[in-house]
Amino acid sequence: MSEEKGTLPSKETFSEWYNEILWRAEVMDVRYPVKGVYVWYPHGFAVRKAVYSALRELLDRDHEETLFPLLIPENEFMKEAEHIKGFEEEVYWVTHGGTSELDVPLALRPTSETAIYPMYALWVRSHADLPLRLYQIVNTFRYETKHTRPLIRLREITSFKEAHTVHATWDDAKDQVEDAVALYTEFYRRLCVPVIISKRPDWDKFPGADYTMATDAVMPDGRTLQVGTVHHLGDNFSKTFDISFEDENGEQKPAFQTCYGISERCIAALISVHGDDKGLVLPPEMAPVQVVIVPIIMKKRADEILESAKALEKELKEAGLRVRIDDRPLRPGAKYYHWEMKGVPLRLELGPRDIDNNVVMSANRLGEKASLSRENITEDVRKSLDAFAESLRNRAEETVKEKIRKADTLDEAGKAVEDGVAVVQWCGCESCANEIEKRLNVSILGSEIRSEYISDAEGECIICKKAGKPALVARSY
């Protein structure tokens, strides 16, 4: 019987741990015969379903879901020069249909601006059509030449959520950027994954954007993972694709746009931030199975125990919980191991003595045990799951806080980024950034940081000593 708490992966063990957990917990199979694309096991897919269902729920409050084609004709794709530059090395091209060559090569969308905006040009006519807020969840493609990694760096991103909005003014679009940042914050709160929001440096923004706000998670090895971006597109694309509207005074005006995306990297973060050496650890909302019932079968009273376990299952299911009863002919220990690996938040054990005492034994995925009264079981299970989510969120926050360090000198910053993220004062200029990046082999993630863990007190740039603001410095995926 596994009694001990699991151990979180460390800087040294993370990479191997990550590769192992993907197949042990049946999240992804990496053996598909094309580099950089992977297969979702049913369990991994069920996690994906729960995660994206939460994301959909948040978006559906004031967005509508839609679907645009995967194939983008070369001429449309090539319209926005800056945008192309950002993607030209990464695009897959379809050149043949059957045995004949296509007249116009077709790009597999790396992202859908150039697929969607020609249609927006047709759809947006008047100020009454604005704001327009649509999103889609689709597969997108990048011909990655760097080392690929499941859920993190992919050639087929199977679950790219991209939202595209249109507004009457630059300020309206700015407000939308803020709304999207708030939505992403709420989303990651539900995943119990702490994230840091910042504004990417100008040279690191989305190709064609006015500016980019980014969401980064901190992985167990201290490297950061970009898990969401929000772009203010200004009127750059709307001018190219001719998206304009008639305002209240009958004047034709170019529209302003934003777009914002989250890929299955959110699942990479979810897995990595919570998982331990026993397997996945999933917040209840994201767990395909929230409660597993393990009947402790004693030969004499086997039927009675199984009956009782089934009654318990029925009761919890009727309360809307995702419950599974494990009545396989295996030792309880083997079952515990199995469901711990799968990340089930709460295990209920039911043996003859528990039935006699009218109780159910519970153990959550962090190893906390309790005896619950059989009578109030539904309410108690709900409370246990809520408390578990809270514990998980707190633990993740504590772990991340330890990985973020204020650094007053390059030396200190160098040490900080060995284990995580350094917060340094930076004047905002590119040459100081280059200096920091080159000397420490890091990236400047961004400034205008939004995080309750990080002070926004200003100081002097660690390079040029001019007035600076806090900036995030880290090695990133």
Q: Which residues bind a second copy (CB under 8 A)?
A: 29, 31-34, 37-42, 45-46, 48-49, 64-73, 76, 88-99, 105-106, 108, 115, 118-119, 122, 134, 138-139, 143, 145, 155-156, 158
CA distances 102 to 99, 111, 310, Å, are 10, 22, 59
User: In whole angstroms, how close is the CB of 266 to a second copy at the nearest point?
Assistant: 16
346-350 and 323-325: which strand pairing? unpaired
User: In whole angstroms, how close is the CB of 112 to a second copy at the nearest point?
Assistant: 11
Q: Answer whether 321's CB lies under 8 Å from 290's CB.
A: yes
DSSP state of 153: B
> What tokens does 75 get?
């001429």
User: In whole angstroms, how close is the CB of 252 to a second copy at the nearest point?
Assistant: 21
User: In whole angstroms, how close is the CB of 173 to a second copy at the nearest point?
Assistant: 20
Residue 299: how many other CB atoms lie within 10 Å: 5
Residue 105: how many other CB atoms lie within 10 Å: 17
User: In whole angstroms, how close is the CB of 87 to a second copy at the nearest point?
Assistant: 9
d(CA 230, CA 205): 10
> What tokens does 7 get?
């151990």
User: In whole angstroms, how close is the CB of 169 to a second copy at the nearest point?
Assistant: 24
CA angle centred on 125, ends 119 and 126, rounded to 5°? 145
CA distances 439 to 288, 434, 446, 472, Å, are 45, 8, 17, 15
User: In whole angstroms, how close is the CB of 295 to a second copy at the nearest point?
Assistant: 21
> What tokens does 305 get?
């125990």
User: In whole angstroms, how close is the CB of 309 to a second copy at the nearest point?
Assistant: 22
Q: Answer whether 288's CB lies under 8 Å from 40's CB.
A: no
- Give whichever of 117 and 260 is closer to a second copy, judged by the CB atom: 117
d(CA 165, CA 172): 10
- Give whichever of 39 and 182 is closer to a second copy, judged by the CB atom: 39
- Give whichever of 138 and 385 is closer to a second copy, judged by the CB atom: 138
Residue 3: how many other CB atoms lie within 10 Å: 8
CA distances 306 to 291, 313, 319, 325, Å, are 16, 10, 20, 9
- Give whichever of 156 and 437 is closer to a second copy, judged by the CB atom: 156
- Give whichever of 71 and 359 is closer to a second copy, judged by the CB atom: 71
Instruction: Read off the amino acid at residue 311.
Output: A
d(CA 12, CA 8): 11
User: In whole angstroms, how close is the CB of 164 to a second copy at the nearest point?
Assistant: 12
> Beta partners for 149?
153
Residue 179: how many other CB atoms lie within 10 Å: 16
User: In whole angstroms, how close is the CB of 153 to a second copy at the nearest point?
Assistant: 14
- Give whichever of 37 and 359 is closer to a second copy, judged by the CB atom: 37
- Give whichever of 48 and 393 is closer to a second copy, judged by the CB atom: 48
> Beta partners for 133?
165
Tell the residue number behind the tokens 């369990």, with chain if given. 43
Instruction: Read off the amino acid at residue 352.
Output: P
- Give whichever of 63 and 274 is closer to a second copy, judged by the CB atom: 63
Q: Reduced to 3 states, what is the DSSP secondary structure of residue 228?
A: strand
- Give whichever of 130 and 197 is closer to a second copy, judged by the CB atom: 130
User: In whole angstroms, how close is the CB of 342 to a second copy at the nearest point?
Assistant: 13
User: In whole angstroms, how close is the CB of 102 to a second copy at the nearest point?
Assistant: 8
Tell the residue number behind the tokens 């992977």, with chain if given. 38
- Give whichever of 65 and 171 is closer to a second copy, judged by the CB atom: 65
Euclidean distance between the first and the last CA atom of the chain, given in angstroms as a whole number: 37
- Give whichever of 32 and 170 is closer to a second copy, judged by the CB atom: 32
- Give whichever of 322 and 405 is closer to a second copy, judged by the CB atom: 322
d(CA 264, CA 253): 37
